[in-house]
Structure 1
């Protein structure tokens, strides 16, 4: 959910309850099922949207189209040209799920139409079943963003591990500042339920992986060989819940961590802005306490000195990889001294963020990407199919609407016990009795947090719980039943698990227009 750029706005706006969605989509060739980098997609998408009278702003990197911005969504790429990402503008929470569903299915319809220009479609999977991750493929499909130079080189990340279109369904729900840390704790602790319910990646490199959601093994593989051990730590569930914002940011920016490159100018585009790497690899907190810090520009290698500012704190919020993130935008950027003083006191950052008009939301990273396909419609009918795309955000919205009950659920299960369920959720999904019991508890709370109209968007999750069959089970079953080579099996998967056009399963009153 991309919040509008409100820094420096006049009157501080009150908290507004909103929901948003970031849809990641695995692109495949429409006859072979092979992973496919798009070439003509953005031009075709622009034509589709302009025919409906929409204003469009193309975005290029190295003279290649990488995104198209409209008032309704930012349609772009994740890490590769074989992985699309559409970030919908947030909508008001009043009847927000229905509005979001209409917009999301319209965007999906536009994407499927535009992909025809490349002879491509979207696969219902959260990781391509049989895609290379070697140097040649990586060089061919990786988006040429400046930040990846830092991540691969200076930080030593194995960034190519995710170049086989590992995709998530990014549910985003706004939260009041006073409740933000409780909401984050709940989202992190209960993430095994979302992993299991929305699992959709049992295959990698043409072989079963032994995991229902193999996508979630990514962070260990990317960060374990990295230069700085703190990068792996920031993808690992902490041993206890966070007490307040100050505690959370100390975990994220304090000793044991190393700051990412810091922007030379004001920017929220963390993937493309020119950045400086501070000498000596300090944590962000140490950098902010200095008068200035020497370093070098990532793009040119030029030696520079950078004076710390509060905007460096806000910019760096992206630098952790838990199953949920706390994201925010400040309407007023405080002075650095004001920020550092507030950070020293319990609840101080909450008070400062209120004064600065922060808009905060929880970004879910646990649910795998999922789209209604022929297999699901045949097996479960149109109700679960209609709700599949919206089920993760409905689950998150319902939980956060009942934050006290969700917190009670975390307390009853126990923080450490829930953290220990993450691996079984990834590997076994609902086949694990403890994971299935957690999913039932989580859905009970979420259901109670939604009105009658909202609960319809949980139909897919309810079906998975009742049947014990996630998208991963259906995908693996198709793969195992298909005869012949990996290529033949991939074509069998394509025939049953290509994302359907929304008109195939939406009721007339919910159809896209």
Structure 2
């Protein structure tokens, strides 16, 4: 989750928030790809979660990385993240280590960034007896096993999640994702990209499914992580059916976000409890947590990080439906979405593919992808056929980028082609590992 935002001056009206988001628009030649991935750290002896404090700890990992040229980020004296250039390393609530990569021109640069990060992380972790695994959900840990990171927003969220859904704490402490952040040219381009991204998130969920085990046994889903998101907090999650209605744009997104209950306001290094309060009231100077005060654009940027739909808008579009996985899949995710969203003919063809669907079909595919991955279907749509069509469009988009001088990104789609050809995804391999050798075999299969 994000490092707190700051500055930007006071916000006077809702239209200013829409203008701020629209200010992220860029000409096509300036479009970049940002990739974020999370991974579990575990103790090699015992395969337990890594605590925050101690010799073999999350703090020791961060300190080791800081010694290699990263700048420390602290909260109330505790080391909670790192920054270097436009990339950062942050902590998820259960100690998951997240790399939020810099905005890069092509997936080849993403691969170099990922490999450099993993090499550094392994070099620091190995002497501490720590390993990393990347999959959608921790295969055997229970909630009571999980450490808590010293971040104020997580303390507030932990209590709130228990009030508004049934799976929020599972999401916070025991899941990992990979996502891509992509630019838009203008409002119309944002709307088209958001709609396609939302409608095709079930394809990403299916292709990247890697969480078939939970608390030491199969859970009946290929992506338990996706299942978790369906019962987390209905006010801030889901497929945003209103985004497909006439009149969709930045102002419509702002109108929704203003009424999503807040978590906090960040002031002078501390988190002020604003759980359940309204950003709309904040805008009017009526926020109970800060009476008489109006928000800054930094407050708005923070609030946007607490909205969790399957695809979301900030000053770019984030695609969020995939489980974390091995190196090949961490790189396939940005390649897949760049091919679909950064080539106008592929984007328009993808919209033609999904435009006839009802909200019920989109939601049905979301459920089917979680349960059966590529074997799922809903509304007469088979996910394996849909994935094949979407992958062909992504391939065409990347071919067009290569023709314009971008280093060829099509090889990064290879694991997705294999899945479409065979019907198997990472979850199937993890289930095979569990059958062969139980949890230790699963951890080894998911080692990053």
What TM-score does the superposition give when structure 1 sets the normalisation length? 0.72
Q: Distance in 2 between matches of 1:221 and 1:118?
A: 37
Of 323, 339, 350, the residue aligned with 1:368 is: 323
Of 298, 313, 329, the residue aligned with 1:388 is: 329
Describe the shift of the 1:252–1:104 C-alpha distance in structure 2 as closer, same or farther (beyond 3 A).
same
Which whole-Å deviations, capped at 9, do the CAs of 1:158-190 have from their partners, x for residues lacking one?
A: 653235530001211112232112211111111
CA contact (8 A) 1:2 1:90 kept: no
Q: Distance in 2 between matches of 1:120 and 1:130?
A: 17
Q: Distance in 2 between matches of 1:323 and 1:194?
A: 10
Q: Distance in 1 between matches of 2:308 and 2:103?
A: 22
Q: What residue is the counterpart of 1:41 in the other structure? A: 61
CA contact (8 A) 2:240 2:309 kept: no
CA contact (8 A) 1:192 1:421 kept: yes
Comparing 407-416 and 186-195, the one that deviates more: 407-416
Q: What residue is the counterpart of 2:278 in the other structure? A: 283
For these two proteins, the number of residue pairs brought into alignment is 406
Of 306, 314, 326, the residue aligned with 2:293 is: 306
Describe the shift of the 1:286–1:466 C-alpha distance in structure 2 as closer, same or farther (beyond 3 A).
same
Q: Distance in 2 between matches of 1:458 and 1:30?
A: 32
Q: Does 1:88 align with 2:101?
A: yes
Superposition deviation, residue 12 in structure 1:
10
Superposition deviation, residue 421 in structure 1:
0.5
CA contact (8 A) 1:127 1:166 kept: yes
Please give the secondary structure, in 1, of the residue aligned with 2:309: coil
Q: What residue is the counterpart of 1:144 in the other structure? A: 150
CA contact (8 A) 1:161 1:222 kept: no
CA contact (8 A) 1:78 1:85 kept: yes
CA contact (8 A) 1:31 1:491 kept: no
Q: What residue is the counterpart of 1:201 in the other structure? A: 211
Superposition deviation, residue 447 in structure 1:
1.0
Q: Distance in 1 between matches of 2:241 and 2:358?
A: 11
Superposition deviation, residue 98 in structure 1:
1.0
Q: Distance in 2 between matches of 1:98 and 1:27?
A: 26
Q: Distance in 1 between matches of 2:441 and 2:254?
A: 47
Q: Distance in 2 between matches of 1:90 and 1:273?
A: 28
Q: What residue is the counterpart of 1:342 in the other structure? A: none
Q: Does 1:246 align with 2:251?
A: yes
Q: Does 1:128 align with 2:134?
A: no
Describe the shift of the 1:126–1:310 C-alpha distance in structure 2 as closer, same or farther (beyond 3 A).
closer
Please give the secondary structure, in 2, of the residue aligned with 1:262: strand
CA contact (8 A) 2:131 2:447 kept: yes
Q: Distance in 2 between matches of 1:12 and 1:219?
A: 28
Greater CA radius of gyration, 1 or 2? 1
CA contact (8 A) 1:182 1:407 kept: yes
CA contact (8 A) 1:32 1:490 kept: no
Describe the shift of the 1:151–1:419 C-alpha distance in structure 2 as closer, same or farther (beyond 3 A).
same
Q: Distance in 2 between matches of 1:165 and 1:258?
A: 24
Of 341, 353, 363, the residue aligned with 1:400 is: 341
Q: CA RMSD in A?
A: 2.9
Describe the shift of the 1:362–1:307 C-alpha distance in structure 2 as closer, same or farther (beyond 3 A).
closer
Q: What residue is the counterpart of 2:440 in the other structure? A: 491
Unaligned runs of 5+ in 2: 10-22, 52-56, 403-407
Q: Distance in 2 between matches of 1:413 and 1:326?
A: 22
Q: Distance in 2 between matches of 1:262 and 1:128?
A: 30
Superposition deviation, residue 222 in structure 1:
3.4
